[in-house]
Amino acid sequence: MSKMETIRGRVTEIVYIAQDGRSAHTTEKPERASLITFKVAGRPVGAAAVGFPSINEGDEAVVVGMPNPRSGWLEAAEFKNQTTGQAWKFNPFKAAWKSFS
C-alpha cells in the first residue's frame, strides 16, 4: 500500500472537468466541474472538485495525497492554498452526493 505524500510549490496548468453521463469534457466554469487537475511543482494532481477552493495559476500550495501507482499522479486528500489561505479536505460523502445531483 502506498503512503501519503506531501508536495509544495506553485500551481500551474489548471483544468476543470465536467461529467455528463458517460462523457467528460473540460469547462471554464469551476462550479460545473466534478474534477479538477493541476500541477504543483511540476507534479500532476487530481481532485474531486466538490467544495474545492478557488485557485489561480501561480498560487503557492501544499497538497497531501496518495500517489496513483499507474499514472504517477497525486490523488489529493488535502489542499492548502498558501496564497489565499483557503483549505480543502476530501469528503467522500459530498463527492458521492454531487455524483447523484
Q: Is the pLDDT of residue 86 over 60?
A: yes
Predicted TM-score (pTM) of the model is 0.84
CA dihedral 8, 11, 14, 19 (to 10 degrees): 30
pLDDT score recorded for residue 97: 42
Domain 5-90 has CATH 2.40.50.1010: yes
The domains of the chain are located at 5-90
Question: What whole-number distance in Å separates Cα of residue 93 and Cα of residue 101?
Answer: 13
| Res. 20 pLDDT band, cuts 50 70 90 | confident
Average pLDDT for residues 23-50, to the nearest whole number? Answer: 90
- Cell readout for 90 is 476530501
pLDDT score recorded for residue 2: 60
Mean pLDDT of all residues in the chain?
86
pLDDT score recorded for residue 31: 84
